[in-house]
Structure formats: structure tokens, C-alpha cells
């Protein structure tokens, strides 16, 4: 087995792009309640670890996070989130005993500069349209897109009505 070492910067301002995928890419998040429970679990780990979620999107089989963990170990944040959501879905009898909700590992990329940050934010927000769940990012309710519109960082019709080539759309 390959010995993988995660990049963990000592700076409390480091930002990471994370991708968590359901086991076998199963479409586990189908109902509004599923999305809300995942969001509640995100809020729980955010408060528990004092991390900052700068941008995120939750789709039917994966989650993208742009996270600033400050003093926390982002691997522990992810582990806590995955454990909590797995138990939640088992308690709802959606998963059988021993059946994991998430793949064992997750993908991480350290954000290098402002351009890299902007590229990943765009990628996160365009992801529902890329996967043809909606025509435009504004139509997908399970992301931070609206927060970015309210902050003036996007127009409401950003990437509306057509193919939008976002650099790095190989991140999935």
C-alpha cells in the first residue's frame, strides 16, 4: 500500500479544497431532509473544531469544501464529519450495519494563491450545473452560491444558460 502523507501547513491561514465521495458513488442524498442533515453535521463540526467553511457544495454523491481549519487538523474534522454522518444514516436505517456512507479516503488540495482560491470557488459553485442537476448554479440550494451573490462576488445569473468552462473541472 502506498504511504500517503497529507500536506498540512503550519500556518493557521492555510486553506484546503476537500472532496468527500460516497462509497461507490452511491446517490445517498436524494431528499431535502438528507441535505439538511448533512448541512447540520457540517455546522456541528464547524463549531466543534472552530473551522471556517469558505465555500461548499453538496451533491447527491459527493461534497466539495473549501476549508480554513485555523488551529484544527482538517483530517480530524473530516473524520468526525464522516463518522457522524455515517451513524446518522445508519440510525435512519438508510445504511445497513457495516455499510459505510463515505469512501475511506478523501481528496485534498492546498490552495496556493488568490487565483487558485477563485478557481476552486468557481468550481464548487458550478459543480451542480456540471453534473446536470440544474441549468445554473443559482438553482441549486445546497451550496454557498447565494452567500457569494449577496456578498457581490457573483451576479445572480453567473454561468446561467450554457456551458461554462471552469478551470480545473477535473477535480471530481
- pLDDT category at 172 given cuts 50, 70, 90 is very low
3-class secondary structure per residue, the chain: CCCCCCCCCCCCCCCEEEEEEEHHHCCCCCCHHHHHHHHHHHHHHHHHHCCEEEEEEECCCEEEEEEECCCCCHHHHHHHHHHHHHHHHHHCCCCCCCCCCECCCCEEEECCCHHHHHHHHHHHHHHHHHCCCCCCHHHCCCECHHHHHHCCCCCCCCCCCCCCCCCCCCCC
Tell me the β-bridge partners of 67.
16, 53
Q: For 44-61, what is the mean pLDDT? A: 96
pLDDT of residue 166: 57
Q: Going edge to edge, which strands form the sheet with 62-68?
A: 52-58, 62-68, 16-21, 107-110
Q: Looking at per-residue confidence, does 172 or 113 come out higher?
A: 113
Average pLDDT value for residue range 52-57: 97
Is the pLDDT confidence value at 170 over 70? no
pTM for the model stands at 0.86
Amino acid 167: pLDDT: 54
Angle between helices 74-91 and 32-49 (to 10 degrees): 140
pLDDT of residue 8: 58
Q: Is 142 annotated as catalytic?
A: yes
The confidence score (pLDDT) of residue 6 equals: 52
Say which of 16, 123, 142, 154 is annotated catalytic.
Answer: 142
Burial label for 96, CB within 10 Å (0-12, 13-18, 19+), is: exposed
Domain boundaries, the chain: 16-150
Report, as an integer, the average pLDDT of 30-53.
94
pLDDT over 60 at 72, yes or no: yes
Query: 90-141, pLDDT tens digit by residue?
Result: 877 677 777 888 999 999 999 999 999 999 999 999 999 999 999 999 999 9
16-150: CATH topology: Alpha-Beta Plaits (3.30.70)
Burial of 8 (0-12, 13-18, 19+ CB in 10 A): middle
What confidence score (pLDDT) does residue 79 get? 95
Amino acid at each position: 500500500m502506498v504511504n500517503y502523507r497529507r500536506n498540512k501547513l503550519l500556518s493557521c491561514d492555510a486553506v484546503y479544497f476537500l472532496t468527500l465521495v460516497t462509497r461507490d458513488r452511491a446517490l445517498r442524498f436524494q431528499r431535502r431532509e438528507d441535505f439538511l442533515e448533512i448541512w447540520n453535521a457540517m455546522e456541528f463540526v464547524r463549531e466543534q473544531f472552530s473551522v471556517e467553511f469558505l465555500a461548499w457544495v453538496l451533491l447527491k454523491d459527493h461534497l466539495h469544501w473549501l476549508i480554513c481549519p485555523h488551529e484544527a487538523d482538517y483530517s480530524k474534522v473530516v473524520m468526525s464529519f464522516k463518522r457522524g454522518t455515517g451513524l446518522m444514516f445508519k440510525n435512519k436505517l438508510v445504511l445497513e450495519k457495516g455499510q459505510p456512507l463515505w469512501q475511506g479516503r478523501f481528496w485534498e488540495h492546498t490552495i496556493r494563491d488568490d487565483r487558485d482560491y477563485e478557481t476552486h470557488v468557481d468550481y464548487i459553485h458550478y459543480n451542480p450545473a456540471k453534473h446536470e442537476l440544474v441549468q445554473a448554479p443559482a438553482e441549486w440550494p445546497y451550496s454557498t452560491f447565494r452567500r457569494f451573490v449577496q456578498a457581490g462576488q457573483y451576479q445572480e445569473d453567473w454561468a446561467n444558460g450554457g456551458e461554462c468552462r471552469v478551470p480545473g473541472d477535473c477535480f471530481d
